[in-house]
């Protein structure tokens, strides 16, 4: 069964390019991103892993750890990392899971048989510090992921976990947010002292509360 938002993120023990890990212990009190790659030495994945490494300061700023998985073995991963570092002008600085038996791929439903019986699709799971699935994205193998969107989703998830707000279409850090319908209009000034705008009774906007 596919994992859904709010489900517990399944734990696992695996070998990675940075040693053996227990997923939940490795996460600790951090947020996490677990994302899959169809195979080693594939061109789109090479650019994605390189981009992940380049964005290490951005993930760290968000208290988010990144863990990649590919269905190849550790020896293959280590050789591939050399290519990634060379071609993407970076240093891979996060673990890549060796998953030749497809344990993690199956646990997280990353293999979609109608696309490929052996290679994973491009799955992204956003996992909270409470070890629950907060969001997920799925792309075909032919479409590389947009890392600006991945960071934007983390920002939205972390903001809305702490305040009674939602983020509107195309929202990015620093922009106004939507006050959730559960907040009564008369209670808004106390909860959102930066001010608010009532566009419709159900559409109330306020400046981002943590900025």
Residue with tokens 């193998």: 141
User: What does the alpha-carbon distance between residue 103 and residue 67 come to, in Å, rounded to a whole number?
Assistant: 15
Spatial CA neighbour of 10 closest among 92, 114, 108: 108
- 45, burial (CB in 10 Å: exposed 0-12, middle 13-18, buried 19+): buried
Q: Please count the CA atoms within 13 angstroms of the CA of 75 that sit on its side-chain side.
A: 0
What letters, b where the CB count within 10 A reaches 16 and e where it falls short, cover 154-169? Answer: bbbbbbbeebbbebee
155 annotated active-site: no
Considering the candidates 34, 45, 133, 157, report the single residue annotated as catalytic. Answer: 45
User: What does the alpha-carbon distance between residue 121 and residue 142 come to, in Å, rounded to a whole number?
Assistant: 9
- 130, burial (CB in 10 Å: exposed 0-12, middle 13-18, buried 19+): exposed
User: What does the alpha-carbon distance between residue 46 and residue 52 come to, in Å, rounded to a whole number?
Assistant: 10
Catalytic residues: 45
């Amino acid at each position: 069964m596919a994992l859904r938002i709010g489900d517990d993120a399944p734990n696992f023990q695996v070998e990675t390019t940075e040693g053996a890990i227990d997923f939940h212990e490795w996460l600790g009190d951090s947020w996490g991103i677990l994302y899959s790659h169809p195979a080693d030495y594939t061109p789109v994945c090479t650019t994605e892993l390189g981009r992940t490494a380049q964005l290490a300061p951005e993930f760290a700023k968000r208290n988010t750890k990144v863990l990649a998985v590919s269905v190849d073995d550790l020896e293959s991963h280590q050789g591939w990392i050399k290519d990634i570092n060379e071609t993407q002008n970076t240093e891979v600085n996060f673990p890549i899971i060796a998953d030749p038996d497809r344990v993690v791929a199956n646990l997280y439903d990353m293999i979609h048989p109608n696309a490929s019986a052996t290679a994973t699709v491009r799955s992204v799971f956003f996992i909270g510090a409470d070890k629950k699935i907060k969001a997920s994205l799925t792309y075909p193998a032919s479409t590389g992921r947009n890392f600006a969107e991945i960071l934007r989703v983390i920002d939205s998830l972390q903001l809305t976990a702490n305040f009674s707000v939602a983020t509107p279409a195309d929202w990015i850090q620093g922009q106004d947010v939507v006050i959730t319908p559960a907040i009564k209009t008369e209670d808004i000034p106390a909860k959102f002292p930066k001010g608010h705008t009532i566009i419709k009774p159900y559409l109330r906007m306020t400046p981002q509360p943590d900025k």
